[in-house]
Amino acid sequence: MFKYTLDNKRYHTLNYYYNKKYGCKVFKVSLNANFSCPNIDGTKGYGGCIYCLHGSGDYYKENTDLLTQFNEVKEKLHKKWPKAKYIGYFQANTNTYAKVDELKEKYELILKQDNVIGLNIATRPDSISNEVLNYLSELNKRTNLVIELGLQTIHDNTAKLINRGSTLKEFEDCLDKLNKENIDVVVHIINGLPYETKEMMIETAKYLSNKKILGIKIHMLHILKNTNLLKLYLKENFHVLTKEEYVDIVCDQLEYLNENIVINRITGDPDKDELVEPFWLTKKFGVLNEIDKELKRRNTYQGFNRSILNKVKQLCENNLKPNDIAVDMTCGNGNDTLFLCNLVNKGFVFGFDIQDIAINNTKKLLKENNLKNYKLFKENHKNINIVLNDYKGKISLILFNLGYLPNGDKKITTDHKSTLYALKNSLDMLNNKGIILIVIYPHTEGKIEEKEIKSYLKKEKILYNEYHNTDNKNSPYLIEIKKKLI
């Protein structure tokens, strides 16, 4: 099970976050404080974002006072969960777009209500003045405050098309100010915006993964009646994502998102009476289930692409059975050896390393975990065919994690000559379905290893797969080699 979930999800759920933080059931009570928006009243633009019908948010109730709204929603939830706590969620339109006195009056009213433990305030990154920021900073010191910022996309051309009215620079400046005040931030993004490609949507998620944010809300663009978006759709008939496309994109985004980022929302929830497209959004739980199923099918999870070692583990899990034999060619501190021992708990793992400290660290770790299905050799891994001569043709997986010992002497690294010998000898040790996994680190010696390995594979016409989790050429990556059958 993914570690940030209580219900077997493969992403960091809001339910998990609330349970760990507050120790009880927590609900957000959506409110409409009848604020305006600088993109509606002419300060930044007119008409709002092109997908906007009533103002942002699912809950919109005009001419009803805040306390009535709050009590009406709270009572419904209280009947089902009488011990629940509540967060006042100022959702509709831009909820910092007013004078501080007006904000105080409305925020403080909700905070006074029984069992209210905090506020979530939805706003725009161009709508928090210095005066308002000072108040938010003070508020943050005495309650659980979250600011929700509408970003939607990092791409300027799309931002202009949807009439967002704010820039990426304004978002970055606002986020920086909130970060400095230690105010938690949740960011909204939308998948399926007109003419955005899958790659563009993933870029938005990658961008946010490296920012200091508490959480993210992932929405699917929905076309509502009486919006400028509908007019554009009828005129240009731009592509609307299918459910399958949306699920695929969300899973890709989750794989790139830092595992600490809380997924506050993962699909849209439009009003059925106002929805034009896509109709599949009306079956919210079906979409959620499809996301769960796809992540399970991929055997991935939130943050999977943050480290190439996650891909290594995935391939090990996909290729090893409990009775198999595996070899860790670079024991290091023993983490890979431990992982392999647990996977082949009815089989066996052999480990190689030339450093005493690596052998000792690995042995200690395995003993602490009460494992006995292993044998370690203080031996150069190029001699695998000699040391394990009795196991020729019987090994299912051989793992090379090249480079130097983590937290050890960086001057002692794997050597391209011995690595190449080890690779050649390892091919003869595999059974017919066996694989070799090599993690390459492009430091000085690693680049030589990389060149020699690929040159050898090309010369011998041995097919291999290459996996990268980043565009950074200096990041480690993985080579997967399957046994060459004659």
* Per-residue confidence (pLDDT) for residue 410, from 0 to 100: 55
* Per-residue confidence (pLDDT) for residue 64, from 0 to 100: 78
**485 pLDDT higher than 90:** no
Q: How many CB atoms lie within 10 A of CB 244?
A: 11
What number is the average pLDDT over the span 51-74? 73
**403 pLDDT higher than 70:** no
The residue type of 91 is Q
* Pairing of the two strands 348-353 and 275-277: unpaired
What number is the average pLDDT over the span 227-254? 95
Using the CB atoms, write b or e for 154-177: b if 16+ within 10 Å. Answer: bbeebbebbbbbbebebbeebbeb
For the domain 14-304, what is the CATH code? 3.20.20.70
CA distance 483 to 486: 10
pLDDT band per the 50, 70, 90 thresholds, residue 483: confident
The residue among 58 and 121 whose pLDDT is bigger is 121
What number is the average pLDDT over the span 262-282? 91
What number is the average pLDDT over the span 144-161? 95
CA distance 417 to 456: 12
Q: Do 7 and 1 meet the contact criterion of CB atoms below 8 Å apart?
A: no
* Per-residue confidence (pLDDT) for residue 445, from 0 to 100: 72
Q: Which residues contact 248 (CB under 8 A, 6 or more apart)?
A: 198, 294
* Per-residue confidence (pLDDT) for residue 306, from 0 to 100: 92
* Per-residue confidence (pLDDT) for residue 204, from 0 to 100: 97
What number is the average pLDDT over the span 283-294? 95
* Per-residue confidence (pLDDT) for residue 54, from 0 to 100: 59
What number is the average pLDDT over the span 462-483? 89
Per-residue pLDDT tens for 237-250? 999 999 999 999 99
* Per-residue confidence (pLDDT) for residue 60, from 0 to 100: 47
**409 pLDDT higher than 60:** no
* Per-residue confidence (pLDDT) for residue 138, from 0 to 100: 96
Q: Do 86 and 29 meet the contact criterion of CB atoms below 8 Å apart?
A: yes
Distances (CA, A) of 465 to 254, 377, 402, 445, 458: 23, 29, 17, 22, 12
CA distance 35 to 17: 29
pTM score, whole prediction:
0.88
Select the highest-mean-pLDDT range: 66-70, 176-180, 220-224: 176-180
DSSP alpha helices (H): ranges in 210-353?
228-236, 243-256, 284-298, 308-319, 335-343
The residue among 486 and 301 whose pLDDT is bigger is 301
CA distance 177 to 130: 9
**Percent with pLDDT over 90 in the chain:** 71
What number is the average pLDDT over the span 73-82? 82
Q: What is the mean pLDDT of the chain?
A: 90
Architecture of domain 308-482: 3-Layer(aba) Sandwich (3.40)
* Pairing of the two strands 430-440 and 477-482: antiparallel
Same fold, 14-304 and 308-482: no
Nearest to 384 by CA among 343, 346, 434, 444: 434
Q: Phi and psi of 87, rounded to 5°?
A: -120, 125
Q: Do 232 and 238 meet the contact criterion of CB atoms below 8 Å apart?
A: yes
pLDDT band per the 50, 70, 90 thresholds, residue 412: low
CA distance 439 to 449: 11
What number is the average pLDDT over the span 364-369? 96
pLDDT band per the 50, 70, 90 thresholds, residue 209: very high
Domain ranges for the chain, please list them.
14-304, 308-482
- Range from 134-138, 170-174, 435-439, 474-478 carrying the lowest mean pLDDT: 474-478
What number is the average pLDDT over the span 340-361? 94
pLDDT band per the 50, 70, 90 thresholds, residue 446: confident
* Per-residue confidence (pLDDT) for residue 104, from 0 to 100: 95
* Per-residue confidence (pLDDT) for residue 414, from 0 to 100: 63
* Per-residue confidence (pLDDT) for residue 144, from 0 to 100: 96
The residue type of 19 is N
DSSP alpha helices (H): ranges in 277-375?
284-298, 308-319, 335-343, 356-368
Q: Do 275 and 223 meet the contact criterion of CB atoms below 8 Å apart?
A: yes
Q: Do 74 and 14 meet the contact criterion of CB atoms below 8 Å apart?
A: no
What number is the average pLDDT over the span 126-149? 96
